[in-house]
Structure 1
C-alpha cells in the first residue's frame, strides 16, 4: 500500500517539474517578431482646368463612382462671353475668306471700268490740248513754258489712265492667290480659337477619369473653385496595397515577387496572402535602430509594398496589417 502511495506522490511532482522545465525552455526560445504595416490605396483628385463657381456637386461622400460619371459642374460667365467673341471672330474671318475667294462684286468691277474710261477720256483730251499748244508754240504765239505745262498735264493724264486700267483689271481678276490663302488661314485660326474656348467650356462639366469611392468633397455649391483645385477626391480600393518598414536584416524575406501571410485585425483573425510588389531603392535614414552589439552595425529600414493576391472584402485605407516573423 505504501508503494502505491509513493507512486501517487511522485507523479504530481514529476508533472510539476516537467511543466516548469517546459516553461523555462519556452521562455528562453527566441520569440517571433511582429511586423506592423498599414493599408493604402490609390487616390485621385478631381479638378477642373478652368476656374469658376461650383454649380452642383453630383456625388456624396462614400458613394461609388464609375469612369466617365459626371462629378460636378461649374458656372463661368466669362467663358460663355469668350465663346461668343470667338464665334463672332470665326464668322468674320469666314466672310473675309469667302469674299477673297469670290472676288469683287459686278458693281465694283463696273465702277473700276468706268474710272478707267474716265481717265482714258481725260488723257485723250490732254493729248489734243498739247498738240494745239505745240502748234501755237511753233507759230511763235505761245511761250515755251506754256507748251511744257501742257505736255506735263498730258503725261500725268496718261499715267492716271494706266493706273485706272490696272485697278479695273485687278477688280476683274479678284484677289491674289496669296491673299486668298491668307484669308483661308485666318478662318482656320478663328476656328481653332473657337475650338479652344469650347474645350474650356466643356471642362465646366467635370467627369471622373477613374472608378472608386468618394472619400472627400472639398468644395460645395456656390464656392469658388480655382484652376486645378480638387473639388472631389476618390479612392480606388481595387488598387490597394500594404506598406511596411522592414529592418534591413529582415529584408531578404521580402524580395519582389515573394509571398507571405498577414492578418488584418479589423477584418478577422484569418490570414491573407500578400505578394511583395516594390522594395524602396533607398533606405530610410530617419528610422533606424542603434548599433546592435551582436551584429555590429546600425539597422536601417526600407519601405516595402505588398499587394493582396486575392481581393479582400471590407478592406479600408489605414487598417493595420500584422506579419509574424520567425
Structure 2
C-alpha cells in the first residue's frame, strides 16, 4: 500500500511538470468576448545620467518627480579650478601663436635695418682696431711700445673681429628667415596649446549636466556640496510619453503580425490605441518537455513591440491585454 501511494505521488508530480512547462512555452493569452487578448508588459526608456568629470556639486536644479525637457540643466559643478586652468591655457596658446607667426612671417623691416646697423658698427670697430694694431706694431718694432701693449691691442682686435662676424651671421639669419623645420615645430606647439584649451573648455561644458532627453526625474542620487568622481551616477530619467508593450509570439503566431498593425491595449478598464512598431527576426529560445517522450525540444519566440499612442494611464511594468 505504501508503494502505491509513492507511485501516485510521482505520477502527479510528473503530470504537473508537463502541464506547467507546456504552458510556459505558449504565448501568454486569454479569451475575452470571443477575441484572443495577448498578455504583454509595458516598457519605457530609462536613462541613467552620470558625470564625465570629477568635482564638487555647486547646485542641483531639479527634484524627484519633476518633468524636464531635452537640454534642461539638471546640475552644476564648481568650476573655479577649471577657470584658472583655462586662463593658463589661453596664455600658452597666445605665446605659441606669436612664436609661430614670427617664424612664418620672418623679421620686420625695422629688425632688418637694426641688424644691418649693428653689423656695420661691428665692422667699423674691427677696422679701427685693425689700423690701431698695425700702427702699434710698427712702433713696437721701432722700440716705442712694449710687447705687453702690443698684445693688448691684438686681443682687442681679435674680439672686435669676432663681434663683427657674429653681427654678420645674425643679419644673414634674419634675411633667410626661419627654417621649415622650425616653422613646423612652432605650428605643432600652437596645435598642442589649442588642444589643451579645447580639453578644458570641454570639461567646463561637462560641468553643467543637462537632460539628454525629455522625461520625468525618477531619482536624484547626490546633492549640493558632495564631491563626485568621474562616472558617478547622478540621476535616472524616464520618458513616460514614449512607452510600448512587449509581447512574445511563437513562430506560427508572429507570422500573423505586421509592422503597422493596429492594436488595443487594456489594463483595468483603461484602454489605449496602439500600433506595431517592430517585429524581431531574431528568436529567443524556450525549452519544453515533450509529452510523448523525455527528449527536449526548442521552441522559438519572437519579440513584438506595440507603441502606446495614448500612454497617460499606463506605467512601466504593468501587465496588459493586447488585442489586434
Q: State the TM bucket, normalised to the shorter chain.
A: 0.5 to 0.7
Structure 2 CA distance for aligned equivalents of residues 132 and 199 of structure 1: 73
Q: CA deviation at 1:133?
A: 6.0
Q: Taking structure 1 as reference, are residues 258 and 160 closer, same or farther at Cα in structure 2, changes over 3 Å only?
A: closer
How far apart, CA to CA, are the structure 2 residues paired with 1:39 and 1:188?
A: 51
State the secondary structure of the residue aligned to 2:290: strand
Conservation of the 8 A alpha-carbon contact between 1:64 and 1:211: yes
Confirm or deny that 1:69 pairs with 2:68.
no
**Partner of 1:283 in structure 2?**
284
| 2:60 aligns with one of 51, 57, 61 | 57
**Where in structure 2 are the equivalents of 1:185-196 lying within 5 Å?**
186-187=189-190, 189-196=192-199
**Matched residue, 2:245:** 242
C-alpha distance 124-275 of structure 1, shift in aligned 2 (>3 A): same
Q: CA deviation at 1:176?
A: 2.7
TM-aligned CA distance change 1:176 to 1:280, over 3 Å: same
What stretches of structure 2 of length at least 5 have no aligned partner?
A: 1-29, 143-152
- CA distance 1:58–1:156, shift in 2 (3 Å): closer
Partner of 1:176: 178
User: Normalising by structure 1, what TM-score?
Assistant: 0.66
Query: CA–CA distance in 2 between the matches of 1:104 and 1:301?
Result: 80
Distance 1:262 1:106, change over 3 A: closer
Output the CA distance in 2 between the equivalents of 1:267 and 1:234.
28
1:200 aligned to 2:203?
A: yes
Q: How many residues are treated as equivalent by the alignment? A: 285
Give 1:163's aligned residue.
166
- Secondary structure in 2 matching 1:122: helix
Relative to structure 1, the CA distance from residue 49 to residue 112 in structure 2 (aligned partners, 3 Å threshold; closer, same or farther) is: farther
Matched, 1:117 2:121: yes
- Residues in 2 aligned to 1:131 and 1:291: alpha-carbon distance in whole angstroms: 126
Which residue matches 2:220? 217
Please list every run of 5 or more consecutive structure 1 residues that lacks an aligned counterpart in the other structure: 1-30, 140-149
Q: For residues 244 and 305 of structure 2, what CA distance do their matches in structure 1 show?
A: 6
Q: CA RMSD in A?
A: 4.5
Change in 2 beyond 3 A, CA 1:259/1:282: same
Distance verdict in 2 for CA 1:136–1:72, change over 3 Å = closer
- 1:190 and 1:204 mapped to 2: Cα distance? 21
Pairwise mapping of residues 27-176 of structure 1 onto structure 2 (< 5 A)?
Answer: 32=31, 35-97=38-100, 101=105, 103=107, 110=114, 113-114=117-118, 117-123=121-127, 125-126=129-130, 129=133, 161-170=164-173, 173=175, 175-176=177-178
**Which secondary structure state, in structure 2, belongs to the residue aligned with residue 62 of structure 1?**
coil
Offset at residue 40 of structure 1 (A): 0.6
* Corresponding residue of 1:308: 307
Q: Report the secondary structure of 1:121's partner residue.
A: helix
**Residue 67 (structure 1) shift:** 1.4
Which one has the largest radius of gyration?
A: 1
